[in-house]
Amino acid sequence: MGGAEGRGDDRMKLLRKTLDRLAPNFEAGGKLSRLKPVFEATDNFFFAGNAVTAGAPHLRDPLDVKRFMVMAIVALMPCVLTGVYFFGLRVLVLIAVSYAAGGLVEVVFAVVRKEEINEGFLVTGLIFPLTLPPALPLWMAAVGVILGVIIGKELFGGTGRNLFNPALVGRCILALGYPVAMASNWILPGRGFPGRLLQYVDASSEDAITIATPLVMAKTEQFTEWWDLFTG
């Protein structure tokens, strides 16, 4: 156990030295200075930020933006696992497309503005695909997240300055632009796992499946069992 931990520490030290050796290339005047936001994001992904305060008190709350975003991602994991259970591995494909397309927008804007890449998109890129029909064409998911990030966040100045949730802005754009696709591309719940990726609702018989929600049923004093509420 101790040997494995020691090897892990050695690898992290080697990575730290490598990043420190490459850092001058990304500073002002360096050959790769325009890619400084990408380098900083990579450094901060593996290590805590090295910024310190100039004067006392030096102690600061360690819950920076990156750690808040990580906590939000951990909180979303039950939703991701539930989505995979009910609708199959295509949920993970949607998440990958969302991260790739939206992350590219984040990088481009950070490079153009010469600002660091904010970790806020780690949550946006995960929330957005969880709001989509699991069988939605991947190009639509890419268009939705790109427009959501640009219109919902970047036009306002980036993370912390946006007036709207970029994930929901992207979903609204898809709902307005492609209403049929957003209503019909559903996989029958329970038939997605472990691998029926193309088990769509039969369009010849119905476009979607609907049922009374627990809140609607409660109006008529039909109360759903607590275990059914918990498991969905």
pTM to 2 decimal places: 0.64
Residue 232 has pLDDT above 80, yes or no: no
The per-residue pLDDT for 127 is 93
For the stretch 43-51, contacts whose Cβ atoms lie closer than 8 Å and that sit 24 or more positions apart, written own/partner, are 43/19, 44/116, 44/119, 46/12, 46/15, 46/19, 47/16, 47/19
Specify the range with the lowest mean pLDDT, choosing from 50-54, 201-205, 222-226: 201-205
Per residue in 77-133, pLDDT (tens digit) is: 999 998 888 888 889 999 999 999 998 988 888 888 777 777 777 888 999 999 999
Per-residue model confidence as pLDDT tens digits over 127-153:
999 999 988 999 999 999 999 999 988
pLDDT given for residue 196 in this prediction: 46
> Tokens 């699991």, residue?
134
- In whole angstroms, give the CA distance from residue 232 to residue 214: 10
In angstroms, the CA 44 to CA 145 distance is 24
**Residue % of the chain over a pLDDT of 70:** 78
Q: Which of 229, 145, 127, 134 is nearest to 190 (CA)?
A: 134
